[in-house]
Amino acid sequence: MPLKNGGFERKSKASDQIPSSSLADIAFLLLIFFMVTTVFRQERERPIEWPSAQATEQIDEKRQNIMYIWIEQDGGIFINDQPVAMSDVSSLVAPAWIDSQRRLRISLRADARAPYRFVDGVMEEIKAGGAIYVVFATDLERRMARERR
């Protein structure tokens, strides 16, 4: 009787299972890839009527050193998309001013129809918070920013 496979037996057999030891590494690398390549929008535009201007300048500052304050027609105030009471503006501006090493720029985006008392109240709160760089955003600046994108 002849010997099967010449009398030699295989020591290891081929497995019919898919190795799963590196699946966690692959999932982690995909997670990192998507985190690095995703762009997060920092602020949403509020529905305001922008004031007009004849000229404008671009703010040359890093995005993290810009605080966006929105003033709506009815006096609603939003700081970086969060509703805020008028009396709380200075308590939010002061720590941001210190954390930015006095480089904080405030982009004040007020509705053109908003009464001036709201704009003046916010300006007083900004001064009480210690920030000194305030930029009044206009329709011209908004259109220029869209063209740059």
Does the predicted TM-score (pTM) go above 0.85? no
The CA distance from 18 to 94, in Å, is: 57
Res 57: pLDDT: 62
pLDDT tens digits, one per residue of 18-77: 777 778 888 899 999 988 888 766 666 666 666 666 555 666 656 667 888 888 888 889
Q: Which domains does the chain have, with CATH numbers?
A: 63-148 (3.30.420)
> How large a percentage of the chain has pLDDT more than 90?
6
Residue of 73, 15, 85 whose CA lies nearest to 46 = 73
| Orientation of helix 116-129 relative to helix 89-99, angle to 10° | 40
